[in-house]
A and B are shown apart, each in its own frame.
Chain A
């Protein structure tokens, strides 16, 4: 099996699972409990937070609260930091942010979606223009676009936003960046969402890194865990796996980055450019490559590759109501390109041979299908 859908989720790291397994079986105690075993677990969670904050280079001004997923982190940032007002984001957001903004609109707030550049990054001129001309309260920008891999320079955006209006609360969805892109969290960023299962940890754990000064309300009420900001008994096993996976990723983040970049470049090099259009730009994340075979439906291409035990992601879900990827559509491509989008996303587990085999099959299949399909 050649797994090239690592932006969807990644394979859990066995050594991290092994290392954390003591918290799954022996140290199962509730971290809120007042006996020694509970307190131990509470301090293990503290350690995990410290590791994660250190990984991303966050200063003492930041704290970390664990949630159940990246989507929850996004939701808490969006709904709980500002009560009402003017909210700004871009058209290239993950649904967790995009749909939340639609909900904000439903609730009577002013919401603005800023246009994208053709590679999927946010058009910063338009963003800054809007912020200059309006009294904006909250901005959310994705760090690495989950469909095209475009990297937004969030530190620069943060700095500029704060210089225009220091009162803006700025949230960054860092789910596809954390553990992958070498990056140091800027002090101008208020909230940063991350997710465990994108870096070979487990599903069911996410985190919201927040500036201590920024006050947010809880999304989930209850027993008062995470300083009352996120109630619910902590998933200690998942959190520890997340910690170990983070440490492992950040230990070699540059080597991994360059290795994956090599895979991606090889892939592009071998890709049949007569058939495929590359949507991702040259300076996008090496982990994500979005291509389109004009005239071949992405989903069919994806299914065809299944026969060779190659798994890729499809950008265009074949739903009759909304057949195209919202994000790639916002990049300004025409219908034929949109129809053929597939997303290839790498990880350090992929080998050069796998990539070469996959790209060869992708070329053959697309050429064959192109003759057959009328799209």
Chain B
């Protein structure tokens, strides 16, 4: 029997006249992601079909599907001719070795197919009981598995049991481009993942402060970026050396404002880079009140330097545990907790200001040559295409 993977999308069917645009984008994303595999791709009404794939590639293909934003679910199905006996045979194979309660659900797009949907379900269910009655029984309300029969108009029928959930969301590229500030901690990769999920194509920016942080810390960030890049269809990582800026702030500004000032510099650099490479927003992993630099006062202070673009903070109202759950799901947690210092910890003041006063911050910033520090940092930028 021929097999196929049925891919269903998520919110796109809510779209009106621009639906075609989203469908096409998702199709392109799937095709790019499955580059290198042999298969036949077909677009059906509000779903896609992958056929003629190599049996040994199935696991690898589905792993890819799990990382494509916009895919809601997929099922592995048998494709048979729309005649009763063929459909029944497929159902028979599917139920082999199954245990517990089940029901048969028929969807009949081809209205010329007889018997009708309810009758088909009843007849097939009955015959399945005859064969596997020892192991399975019918429960219409709460079955432990469902045998789905999807009778298409083109004379073909899909038969499948499992529907597997993917990441959902919107196709990457449908919501513009954004620049993610990535630190090497737990939060920022999660923030990136969530933005990608809503269809934004990402670039990443990391601040490195050699020798205060080592090569291992940089490698860790590259690895994290690569992981979220799998959802993004590849990703660019920009690494800016932050050492001189940190040293300058340290030398000339009050200790308690160290972090506040650093974040203001980061935001300024992020905005400039974002504009330069054609991004439309800056994304951070900030979560309200998580640390001193993420109180509303601190966010106000860092937010105030960025004028022309929105700052998206997808995790702003998430608890740490919720963030950790997602990071485990997207497989970044284990890398995030590797014990290399990231940008902030070396210069950590003993008592960071929790509620920085914006006027005082601006006043002490006057001690610094902000413009030339930023220009120097931007001039020495590393780019990794991951």
Contact = CB atoms under 8 A, between A and B. Distances in A.
B339 A319 contact: yes
B349 interface: yes
B339 A318 contact: yes
Contacts, number: 36
Contact of B339 (A301, A303, A306, A320): A320
A317 B217 CA distance: 13
Contacts of B211: 300-304, 306-307
Contacts of B145: none
A303 B210 contact: yes
A321 B339 contact: yes
Nearest to A301: B211
B212 A318 contact: no
A300 B339 contact: no
B351 to A, nearest CB: 11
A213 interface: no
A98 B70 CA distance: 51
A294 interface: no
Contacts of A306: 211, 215
A319 B342 CA distance: 11
A307 to B, nearest CB: 7
Contact of B341 (A302, A304, A318, A373): A318
Contact of B349 (A302, A303, A320, A374): A374
A319 B350 CA distance: 19
Interface residues of A, number: 17
B346 A373 contact: yes
A25 interface: no
Contact of B212 (A300, A317, A319, A321): A300
A34 interface: no
- Interface hub of A300, A304, A319 (most chain B Cβ within 10 A): A300
Nearest to B211: A303
Interface in B124-171: none
Nearest to A297: B346
Nearest to B349: A374
B210 to A, nearest CB: 6
Interface in A295-323: 297, 299-304, 306-307, 317-321
A318 B210 contact: no
Contact of B214 (A303, A319, A320, A372): A303
Contacts of B339: 317-321
B350 A374 contact: yes
- Interface hub of A307, A317, A373, A374 (most chain B Cβ within 10 A): A374
Interface string A274-303: 000000000000000000000001011111
Interface in A347-375: 372-374
Contacts of A299: 214, 341
Contacts of A304: 211
B318 interface: no
A303 B210 CA distance: 7
B187 to A, nearest CB: 16
A306 B211 CA distance: 8
A138 B255 CA distance: 53
A374 B212 contact: no
Interface string B339-357: 1110000111110000000
Contacts of A319: 339
B193 to A, nearest CB: 24
Contacts of A318: 339-341
A78 to B, nearest CB: 27
A302 B214 CA distance: 9
6 contacts: A297-B346, A300-B346, A307-B211, A318-B339, A318-B340, A373-B346
Interface of A: 297, 299-304, 306-307, 317-321, 372-374
List the 9 closest A-B pairs by CB distance, nearest first.
Answer: A319-B339, A303-B211, A304-B211, A303-B214, A318-B341, A300-B212, A320-B339, A300-B211, A372-B250
